[in-house]
A = this chain, B = another copy of it.
Amino acid sequence: MREQVKRFAEGILYTDQYQLTMAQLYFRMGLHEKKAQFDYFFRSYPDYGSHSAGYCINAGLEWLMDWMAESRFGPAECEALRSQRSTSGKPVFAEDFLSWLCEYGNFESITLLAVPEGRVVHPNTPIGVVTGSLAMAQIMETALLNLMTYQTLIATKAARIRQSCQNQLLLEFGLRRAQERAAIAGTRAALIGGANFSSNVGTSHALGFAPKGTHAHSMVQVFLSMGGTELDAFRAYADLYPDGCILLVDTINTLESGVPNAIRVFEELKSKGHKPGGIRLDSGDLAFLAIHAAKQLNDAGFADVQIVLSNNLDELAIWQITTQIQQEAPRYGVSPEALIGRLSYGVGTGLITSRGDSALDGVYKLVALEEDGEWVPAMKISETPSKTLNPGNKRLWRVYDQRGHATADLIASHDEEVAGYDPLVLRHPSLVTMQRCLAKSEISAIEPLLEEAVIQGRQMIRPQEMEEMRARRREDLLKLDPGVRRMVNPHIYHVSLTQKLWDLKQNLIHQYKQD
């Protein structure tokens, strides 16, 4: 059953019913092949309750492009739609529409401009601009949002946890608690966002990463149940994995049993010429235990082995642990810097499910329709001014100040020479009194953020290497003001409109209110 559901549910029918009923309406009215443009953006940064993000890391694009290339209406899909009945028992979808779908129901008409993966992105900016036939561009909405928002959510969380970890190793351990098969995309997004490795074997292999892990409590339990000891368990494990061996020390008692036993095994390994890996702490007060474990390890001459921390970690928990270590370690004769410098972090649920905010509020809005070869901006006015659409065919730019810091993301009409403005006027998207003027001399660079990802169904950008995406994320984060990167109560990054786009938007609002 599961296989059958999967095959069917992941293709072109990975969409909402109303996309199909609307597509049929457009077909009936002869509008289905009219050129339309939709923007993909998200409305707000993830808000985790006690803390919130001041930036997001874009991810998911490659897998969206792959889905577009693989997904099309075929006989099975049309047959499924043919079986649908309205409340009066009549077919919901007519044969002529189904024939059209079977022939043209693919994404070969679609052009997609998109911000590359790994880049910092901000709310209410067009991260994806979809152009194509009204029917197919509409049908694409659901999958685009599904595939893009989750990976962006997780890459963002990973980048925040990476910040807390500073330069230490971050391991993604979330497969078991992930929202089912989201684990696969989630592992990829975590690696883009800042995890070094993952425990997820299949996904790691497929992405070219070595999967990582230690051992579980159950291994020690097996030895105990058979009349053996924790030391027996450690010895057996170290015997099989003598290089870089990491031992989980909290099955019985961390400081009285686990760490002393690990030290004995490390001494044995060392005498045989192996370099021990370290220990893992998975319960209790991780800061306290790390300090005291470090002290025992230091005293035994293992000042260089890793201490891996796991158990319910996220960016705040890690921040708290390192803060506590900075304050407390000196009291026990342990150098906080040295201790923090030997820590690694295994993060499960908190990362792979984006604990605190389980979804990015991505939306996909009609912004323009082609009439006689010209783009006519589409509008949607909301009683909440910040939700009123930025209309028309647009481009996205990043403006850097004289220090090389990103100072604003600027949304412009597609035909504007943004670099030519002096001064450059940055208008707040909805508040009339909020605007900035930047003289050309105050600007070090203006960078276009949208790339041609798909043109008429053809992928234009090659699959990015993971290392490229990671490098891009690191660079973009460095160019953010530290206040924007702040984990709690971050400074608000500026997202602005050009004067021209502002004028267009105001004119349309005026026009719609008059009608």
- A residues in contact (CB < 8 Å) with B: 1-6, 8-11, 13-22, 24-26, 28-29, 31, 36, 38, 49, 62-63, 66-67, 70, 80, 83-88, 90, 92, 134, 138, 141-142, 145-147, 149-151, 153, 173, 175-186, 188, 199-207, 210-219, 221-222, 224-226, 236-237, 240-241, 243-244, 251-252, 274-275, 277, 283-284, 349, 353-355, 358-362, 365-366, 368-369, 371, 376-383, 463, 512
Contact = CB atoms under 8 A, between A and B. Distances in A.
A105 to B, nearest CB: 13
Given A179-B179, A185-B180, A216-B22, A2 B62 contact: yes
25 contacts: A1-B62, A6-B184, A14-B175, A16-B199, A16-B200, A17-B212, A18-B215, A19-B213, A19-B216, A21-B213, A21-B215, A25-B236, A80-B205, A84-B210, A86-B243, A87-B244, A88-B243, A146-B175, A150-B179, A179-B182, A179-B359, A182-B182, A225-B379, A252-B381, A283-B383
Contacts of A175: 14-16, 142, 146
Given A31-B222, A70-B3, A213-B16, A150 B358 contact: no
Contact of A13 (B6, B202, B359, B377): B202
A49 B357 CA distance: 12
Nearest 4 CB-CB pairings of A with B:
A13-B202, A18-B213, A17-B213, A9-B202
Nearest to A275: B87
Contacts of A173: 16
Given A177-B362, A181-B180, A358-B358, A207 B14 contact: no
A147 B183 CA distance: 11
Contacts of A19: 213, 216
A374 B83 CA distance: 56
Contacts of A252: 381
